Structure 1
Amino acid sequence: MFKIDNQVVPYSDPWNIPLSERIRMLVAGRQKVAYFYEAPNNSTFRYRAYNMVQVLNDGKSRDVSASFFFLEDWARIDEVVDYADVLVICRSRYSNRINQLVMKFRVQGKRVLFDIDDFVFDSSYAHLIMSTLDQDASDPDRLDYWFSYIGRLGGTLNLCDGAITTNQYLAKKIANFSGLPVSVVPNFMNKEQVSYSDDLFRGKEMSGFARDDKIHLGYFSGSPSHKLDYAIIEPALEEILEIDPRVEVMVVGYIESGPNLKKFGNRVTRQPFQDYVNLQRVISSVEFNLMPLQANDFTNCKSELKYFEAAVVGAVSIASPSYTYAAAIHDGENGYIARAHEWLSVIKEAIEDTSRYRRITENAREDARAKYAWFNQRENILEALHLE
């Protein structure tokens, strides 16, 4: 484990801004973009609305301005409609108010786009999605929930003039379902993430990448829905812990480490869910970041965020060969790829491949900052919005 001297940073959600201030943000530029999400959260909203607004508002010319709004802002939604030139609805379920919002923009001849980061809009894939997420498809209540959730997202998508998403695999799914034009803007790190991550990496460099005599494998989960993904690597973790006394495992987030690992005592630790800034500190402490995924159409639509969040702080990723992971990671150059039956052998290879570790971390960090940092996204976002 790396010795990290950086302190935990004070955190509060940076999007907790009064509505009056968010309206002022919207009207500051010549071309105005309103992002709409049902209610703010630390995942989809952050990546697909907050981060986009942050980049658009960073432009010094003020040609474009942007802000974000929620259902709770409905009392002043007509002001948003009048001011904004483009509406981007982010992963919001169809409702009477969503329909009204779209119609208000249409009456004024304004463009409406739908941004979605997951394959959850086509109910013909509901059973696959439920199976992947370990949902009980024999439970009528769960079936009602998932068919409603997916169908309502598909309903909102079909109201819009175009779509924006995170990768080409998901873009093709959206186009096939809706017949709409689709643009790709990848998930990326915002200013706070990049700044703190840079500090963490500089600290590791200044210490000569000082570490103890243990090798930590980290699994980081932002939701409890990854239980079956984690199950892919659990047997490999059990075996590597058996054969290599240097290895320890850290499980962070909503997933339990599993009963088979309890026998290893304090060599297996669990940490609670972290805010997205301080998560970077926890990731930076481990040598390897494990990214298992089941292999199907749903998981192939997942973004690369677990890769670049680790890469930017100098943790090497070992990943399943999903569409986005295999495209982002070049095996042995900026990480490692492991098919389902290869996890043990690839973990062993990565641990023993000490001569290439520093080079791999540097390649991955350079790649993450070049492709997935906020300061390289503006032109891509403007193109997706059809703004100059």
Structure 2
Amino acid sequence: MKKPSILFVSNTSRHARPYYDPSTRYRCFNFAQSLSAKGYPTACTTQAIFQKQTQVFSNYDYFVFHRPALTAELAEFILSTPTERVIADFDDLNFSVIHAIETPAVRTRSENVSTVSKSLAKIAGAASLFTQFSSSTTPLARHLSTLFSAKKSVVIPNGIDPTFAGISEMVRERNPVSSRPYTFAYFPGTASHNPDLQMIEEPMREALASDSSFKLMIAGPVKIPDSLSQYSAQIHKAEYVAFHELPNLMAKSKFVLGPLEDTEFNQCKSGLKFFEAALSGCTVVGSPIPDIDRFESILLRKCKTTKEWKEALIAPILHSEESLEEAAKLVDLDVSSEKQTAKWISEFIDQ
């Protein structure tokens, strides 16, 4: 029996190379790759391309619209397609206008709240046309169920693709935790994480002051807090690397930092900052947002208070290399894209 075909359509600004958009990679390409391996015909495109010529793509059986934004062309297509064949997918709280002030655009890039609200309203307008939703976290699923006429709002967590998992396994073998040159590492994807690093400024300063052999690597466009400048000899700024080179960089450090301000917007985020690093054998010291809090692992130290951060940053890793390897493998099994895709199939196709 022929398996149904699925088209993933992402509302990304990276029209030429959408794979390089982390959100599109996780929510579209990773699923498409796993579905294809199971015999489902799949493809990925951008909303900008899709809505220019919807008739070219109309023969697919299912359509997954990632972060869709309302346009006349998209609305016409959605309203003319059976509701069970179209799914709206989200991995951020970018459809709730009342949370505009919490978005990175407003908080760190100083964009006008009104302008950002209009952008969120376009996404909310598109979401209102759907009855089936998938999302990366439980809080997102709750928001979607509350705001829209959701007959189905399913949590399908982000999953790690086999290539990234394979590279991570190799770097764990080659980089024993005990011999890694950096104590801590921070991997902010954008400068929007400036407030997050500032949140742990005092614990980080005390950790660096406690032992001159402690070294911090920062890979990303984040501003180093002024109070850490006196420890510049212990801080290294790393160059940007491509996504699949990230495990090699992470494996230079024992701990990876994952601070996040406690906002509703951040509470809806994916826990990928934990499992990307855990697959490289790193112990993650992070804020327990729900999608991280669901994990229990010796590779995870959850911190809410300044006191907890101070204790977690100074406490040594006492587990054996064998125990750390076993923990990394357990995380790998839990977050594989194949596992998440199997859930996607059971929810949206095998009904």
TM-score (norm 1): 0.82
Q: 1:338 aligns with which of 303, 308, 311?
A: 303
- 1:150 is aligned to 120
Listed one character per residue, the Cα deviations across residues 8-33 of structure 1 (whole Å, up to 9, x for unaligned) are xxxxxxxxxxxxxxxxxxxx963011
- 1:384 is aligned to 347
Q: Is 2:138 the partner of 1:168?
A: yes
Amino acid of the residue matched to residue 31 of structure 1? P
Distance 2:196 2:207 in 1: 18
Distance 2:101 2:63 in 1: 32
Q: CA deviation at 1:190?
A: 1.1
After TM superposition, list the pairs within 5 Å mapping 1:230-379 onto structure 2. Answer: 230-330=197-297, 333-341=298-306, 342-349=308-315, 351=316, 354-356=317-319, 358=321, 361-379=324-342
Moved over 4 A (4+): 73-76
Taking only the aligned residue pairs, the percentage that are identical comes to 18
Q: Is 2:36 the partner of 1:52?
A: no
SS at match of 1:179: coil
Question: Unmatched 5+ residue regions in structure 1?
Answer: 1-27
Q: 1:123 aligns with which of 97, 100, 108?
A: 97
SS at match of 2:200: helix
CA contact (8 A) 2:177 2:281 kept: no
- 1:37 is aligned to 10
Distance 1:98 1:234 in 2: 45
Amino acid of the residue matched to residue 97 of structure 1? E
Q: CA deviation at 1:117?
A: 0.1
SS at match of 1:51: helix
Listed one character per residue, the Cα deviations across residues 267-299 of structure 1 (whole Å, up to 9, x for unaligned) are 111123322100111111100011111113211
CA contact (8 A) 2:97 2:117 kept: yes
When structure 1 is superposed on structure 2, of 337-346 and 286-295 the one drifting more is 337-346
TM-score (norm 2): 0.90
Q: CA deviation at 1:359?
A: 5.8
Q: Is 2:177 the partner of 1:177?
A: no
384 and 226 in structure 1: CA distance in 2 versus 1, 3 angstrom threshold: farther
Distance 2:295 2:235 in 1: 29
SS at match of 2:346: helix
168 and 65 in structure 1: CA distance in 2 versus 1, 3 angstrom threshold: same
Distance 1:29 1:280 in 2: 38
340 and 145 in structure 1: CA distance in 2 versus 1, 3 angstrom threshold: farther
CA contact (8 A) 1:115 1:165 kept: yes
383 and 219 in structure 1: CA distance in 2 versus 1, 3 angstrom threshold: same
How many residues end up aligned between the 2 structures? 342
